[in-house]
Amino acid sequence: MKYYFRILLFLSLLAVVGISLSSFVLAQEDTYRIGDTEVFGKLRRPAVAFDHEAHAEALEDQGCGACHHAPDPKTGKLVYVEDEEAACSECHGRKEDKSIPALREAFHGSCTACHREMIKEKKNFKGPTTCGQCHVPGKKPMRQ
Ligand code: HEC
Ligand code: HEC
Ligand code: HEC
Ligand code: HEC
């Protein structure tokens, strides 16, 4: 009897672990593999994995405006407008347009620049700064 009870306990433990594992996987679903083929055409580098959820959490203090912006209609200055977050390619094109940097520079100017900034502040910071760390071979464009 005792023996069966232990097995039962063990099985229910397994179930709990299984459920928490699957919710962990679900929480990771908010992930992009950025590859704007509509703007860039055939990509020269592999698409770039980007964990939106993890970034939003890690940058909670700075808020969504750490990455999202739009020009203020009156001043032209970049501001963050809640619920108006758009794909970067809405405004950044293949080529630089007056003061608007090209899409590639917009991504690098956001992603790489922030990681560099953070490395200066925190020695053990894990954000990538080299080409191959972001453009990982085998990664195909994907959106969720
Ligand atoms: C912190 C991450 C990051 C780093 C580091 C980085 N990139 Fe990118 N890069 C991106 C993202 C994101 C895009 C947009 C991806 C897309 O739409 O294909 C991009 C776009 C590009 C594109 C245009 C799209 C294409 O594949 O043709 C090229 C070329 C490129 N990067 C080359 C480089 C080179 C060369 C380096 C190293 C000097 C580098 N990148 C470093 C994130 C990074
Ligand atoms: C570290 C940078 C970063 C932070 C912080 C961030 N985002 Fe994003 N977000 C992105 C990038 C990059 C994309 C993909 C854009 C693209 O594909 O051009 C995106 C995509 C989105 C999209 C989809 C846009 C579209 O139409 O394709 C929404 C909505 C969004 N973010 C909302 C938010 C909100 C709300 C927050 C704050 C809770 C936030 N983001 C924080 C970088 C960020
Ligand atoms: C609604 C239009 C719009 C969207 C969407 C947009 N941008 Fe921009 N962005 C601009 C304009 C306009 C400028 C130039 C501002 C100026 O004149 O200095 C700019 C400038 C930039 C710059 C250079 C200035 C700076 O802030 O360092 C970077 C980097 C940048 N954008 C990254 C991004 C990224 C990454 C995304 C997507 C997450 C994005 N932008 C989405 C309009 C947009
Ligand atoms: C405003 C700052 C900021 C911007 C912009 C930013 N990151 Fe990050 N990134 C972070 C922080 C904070 C972490 C967490 C590092 C850690 O774990 O210590 C991180 C970690 C990462 C990591 C390693 C951990 C993971 O999630 O796999 C990757 C890859 C990454 N970023 C890619 C990108 C790409 C691609 C972009 C542009 C689309 C980007 N980041 C834009 C701040 C930023």
Alpha carbon distances (Å) from 21 to 17, 18, 34, 57? 6, 5, 26, 20
- Tens of each residue's pLDDT in the chain, 144 residues: 566 666 556 556 555 555 544 444 444 447 899 999 999 999 999 999 999 999 999 999 999 999 999 999 999 999 999 999 999 999 999 999 999 999 999 999 999 999 999 999 998 999 999 999 999 998 788 875
Q: Which of 28, 55, 123 to mutate to test the pocket of ligand 4 (most atoms within 8 A of CB)?
A: 55
Per the DSSP assignment, residues forming a β-bridge with 59 are none
Reported pTM: 0.90
| Contact call for residues 35 and 48 (beta carbons, < 8 A) | yes
Contacts of 68 (CB under 8 A, 6+ apart): 80, 84, 85, 86
| Contact call for residues 126 and 117 (beta carbons, < 8 A) | no
CA distance linking residue 135 with residue 25, whole number of Å: 23
Tell me, using a 6 A CB cutoff, whether residue 128 lines ligand 1: yes
- Full 3-state SS string of 73-87: CCCCCEECCCCCCCC
The DSSP string of 26-39 is HHTT-EEEE--HHH
Q: Which domains does the chain have, with CATH numbers?
A: 2-134 (3.90.10.10)
DSSP letter assigned to residue 110: H
Nearest protein Cα to ligand 3, atom 39: 88
CA distance linking residue 47 with residue 141, whole number of Å: 5
CA distance linking residue 70 with residue 88, whole number of Å: 10
